[in-house]
Amino acid sequence: MYDALEDEFGDVVGKARRGQERTTADVGSASGLSAADIERLEAYDLVPSPEQVLALAHTLGLAPEKLHRAAAVEFLPDEPGGREPIDLVVEMRVLGTDFLMNGYVVGCPRTKVGAIVDPGFQADRILQAAEGAQLDIAFILLTHGHFDHVGALAEIRQATQADVLASEAEMELLGDLRQHVDGYLVPGELIEMGRQSLRVAATPGHTPAGVSLIHAEAAFVGDALFAGSVGGTRNRSDYKRQLAAVQSELLSLPEGTTLYPGHGPATTVAEELANNPFFTD
């Protein structure tokens, strides 16, 4: 399992800068650095001083103490593979070779009805996880339409004959794979898996209509949130939408809730409130 975060200090700075549509020259000037310094920071080629970290936090609207911890590489979730829930089966798989993502098999431990969340790569490993958990897969749930989260969709659907559900506004991203979609994920609705359910929550920004799937003990958040970071955006509107959605839909959950992201280690609401620089409250 993971022994490091998905995003390093340079990634956090780059995502905040690009999300606010700011140039390296602009951010450098506002924080007392050069454009070349910002480029080196984002390329992991420059270790910032505490004074530079503080200046960047103020310039980019990030939480200073949390950004200091990111620069010092002080944060890694206590249980990067996720906590074992009581009333939900969760099988987390790191999928891919050169490019890694997290796919999940989840389900009801009593009725053995389950779902696959984000079948990105390696269909055989996902199916083995479902078989090992003795789950009858009823649904394939897509948090968003990026290829690294749906690359094994066609093979998984053929093997399971499960219903594929995704947000209607993600169809363009899915391209030809939209032919496999059987229905839509609608914010506020419940996906019933035996005696367990997942609530659909709108967490857009990284993509137009990304969603998270929320259980009483866990949330599957796609690329809306990473441990200590967020998924990337390219304009102010999407950046603001994403941060607002994560704040309202995810960080408002009970602090013990495990957050299972699309990349990098699992985390908890409490750990993100304490360590994620994008959230100042």
> Which domains occur in the chain, in start order?
9-71 (1.10.260.40), 89-275 (3.60.15.10)
| Distances from the Cα of 168 to the Cα of 144, 176, 239, angstroms | 10, 14, 21
Contact residues for 264 (Cβ-Cβ < 8 A; gap 6+): 2, 5, 6, 7, 102, 226, 227
pLDDT score, position 208: 96
Global pTM? 0.97
pLDDT score, position 1: 80
10-residue block means of pLDDT along the chain (281 residues)? 95 98 98 97 97 98 98 97 94 96 98 98 98 98 97 98 98 96 98 98 98 98 98 97 98 98 98 97 70
- How many residues are recorded in the chain? 281
